[in-house]
């Protein structure tokens, strides 16, 4: 039986084309790297670059201190955050080059590409055709086709409510969580909100309302190219769990440490999407990184056997609540289980935690 998570912080990750998002909980914000890097490392003079002058951006100074402690990959990510704000900055570019080379030397491998961001193979095709993967032209979101099937949803309050859900129609789900670059390609007006900046990191601190608006805008721009009855939106909980499990029945869809960024290995931050192993159906980061919004309201499962389940809500206050799935970078292994459910208000964006989504169609 899957455990149930209560209300606390929020994490949303994947935003897919179709009808479902997932949204999860993260506990209180973990200690920052400033507390974890030793004082000696912070005070040490780096052997990679000379001491920074007063004009150097604060994040570059921090990156030098982290590199001095041997945490090159974390230092590279911090430089990338600065370059995202100041593209082409010569000091940032040079610092990144030096960190990449130092990381390669430390790993005993002269190939700097080992620490560069993973780039997933492109999926050809810009028009959705049932049975085939494609890429959304508007934002470059790769969509994976999922054929109809059945999934068991276990009610955390008792096995009497365990529910077999048959999905009678295939759908597409985002191969990864929606990234910050993809978000701002569609919602240019939305100011940057993510705690952990990076074009290929998952968008976070995003409300359910903003995630739904993202899908509406893509649907609007794709007018005339969508099959009848389809739209870009969040997945239902049944669609999300069906995709996450990918035919498995255990707590996770595989070896969690190989598939997910979570509390035990995340270094207290999100990571670029698609770096861990995918599940059996080619979907990344359904466990961990950021948890993901779903379309459903909060309610128990109906029990028995049903088709195309989407959980509604009872009452005015319940209309303000939606479900989140998958767990995030600060969650435990148990909180990242395939069947764990969390609930948050539709306007919630989190405080000190990540919230994101995955595109569904």
Q: What are the 10-residue block averages of pLDDT along the chain, 361 residues in total?
A: 37 35 31 29 26 44 80 75 69 80 64 45 85 90 96 76 94 95 89 85 92 92 82 95 96 96 93 96 96 91 93 77 92 93 86 56 65
Helix 90-106 crosses helix 58-68 at what angle (to 10 degrees)?
Answer: 10
Sign, CA torsion 212/146/25/183: negative
Query: Is there a contact between 241 and 325 (Cβ–Cβ < 8 Å)?
Result: yes
Do 250 and 133 fall within a single domain?
A: yes
Do 334 and 198 fall within a single domain?
A: yes
DSSP string for 268-286: SS---TT-S---TTS---S
Q: C-alpha angle with apex 252: 246 to 255, nearest 5 degrees?
A: 100
What is the extent of the structural domain holding 229?
11-30+122-360
Alpha helices in the chain (DSSP H): 33-36, 39-43, 58-68, 72-85, 90-106, 180-186, 208-221, 237-245, 256-259
Q: Is residue 3 part of a domain?
A: no
Query: What is the per-residue pLDDT for 22?
Result: 31
Do 97 and 186 fall within a single domain?
A: no
Query: Is there a contact between 327 and 301 (Cβ–Cβ < 8 Å)?
Result: no
Query: What is the per-residue pLDDT for 306?
Result: 96
Do 228 and 110 fall within a single domain?
A: no
Do 141 and 221 fall within a single domain?
A: yes
Do 175 and 39 fall within a single domain?
A: no
Alpha-carbon gap, residue 352 to 308, rounded angstroms: 35
Query: What is the per-residue pLDDT for 360?
Result: 66
Q: Total structural domains in the chain?
A: 2
**Sheet of 292-293, strands arranged across:** 292-293, 321-325, 342-345
User: What is each CA distance from 259 to 9, 137, 284, 337, in whole angstroms?
Assistant: 22, 27, 8, 12
Residue 160 CB burial class (10 angstroms; 0-12, 13-18, ≥19): exposed
Closest CA to 64 of 55, 54, 76: 76
Alpha-carbon gap, residue 59 to 321, rounded angstroms: 37
Query: What is the per-residue pLDDT for 149?
Result: 98
Query: What is the per-residue pLDDT for 26?
Result: 31
Query: What is the per-residue pLDDT for 181?
Result: 93
């Amino acid at each position: 039986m899957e455990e149930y998570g209560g209300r606390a912080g929020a994490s949303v990750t994947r935003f897919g084309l179709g009808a479902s998002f997932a949204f999860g909980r993260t506990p209180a914000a973990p200690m920052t790297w400033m507390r974890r890097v030793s004082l000696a490392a912070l005070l040490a003079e780096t052997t990679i670059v000379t001491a920074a002058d007063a004009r150097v951006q604060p994040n570059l100074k921090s990156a030098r201190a982290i590199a001095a402690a041997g945490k090159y990959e974390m230092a590279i990510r911090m430089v990338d955050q600065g370059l995202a704000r100041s593209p082409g900055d010569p000091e940032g570019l040079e610092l990144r080059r030096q960190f990449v080379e130092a990381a390669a030397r430390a790993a005993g491998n002269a190939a700097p590409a080992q620490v560069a961001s993973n780039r997933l193979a492109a999926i050809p095709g810009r028009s959705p055709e049932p049975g085939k993967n494609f890429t959304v032209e508007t934002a470059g979101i790769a969509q994976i086709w999922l054929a109809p099937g059945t999934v068991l949803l276990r009610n955390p309050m008792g096995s009497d409510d365990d529910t077999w859900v048959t999905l009678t129609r295939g759908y597409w789900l985002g191969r990864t969580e929606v990234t910050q670059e993809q978000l701002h390609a569609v919602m240019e007006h939305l100011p940057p909100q993510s705690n952990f900046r990076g074009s290929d990191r998952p968008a976070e601190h995003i409300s359910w309302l903003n995630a739904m608006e993202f899908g509406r805008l893509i649907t609007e721009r794709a007018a005339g190219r969508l099959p009848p009855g389809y739209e870009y939106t969040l997945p239902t909980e049944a669609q999300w769990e069906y995709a996450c499990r990918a035919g498995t029945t255990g707590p996770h869809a595989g070896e969690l440490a190989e598939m997910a960024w979570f509390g035990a290995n995340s270094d207290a931050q999100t990571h670029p999407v698609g770096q861990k192993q995918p599940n059996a159906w080619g979907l990344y980061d359904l466990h961990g990184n950021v948890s993901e919004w779903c379309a459903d309201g909060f309610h128990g499962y109906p029990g028995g056997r049903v088709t195309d389940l989407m959980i509604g809500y009872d009452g005015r206050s319940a209309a303000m609540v939606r479900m989140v799935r998958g767990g995030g970078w600060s969650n435990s292994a148990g909180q990242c289980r395939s069947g764990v459910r969390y609930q948050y208000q539709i306007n919630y964006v989190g405080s000190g935690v990540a919230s994101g989504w995955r595109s569904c169609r």
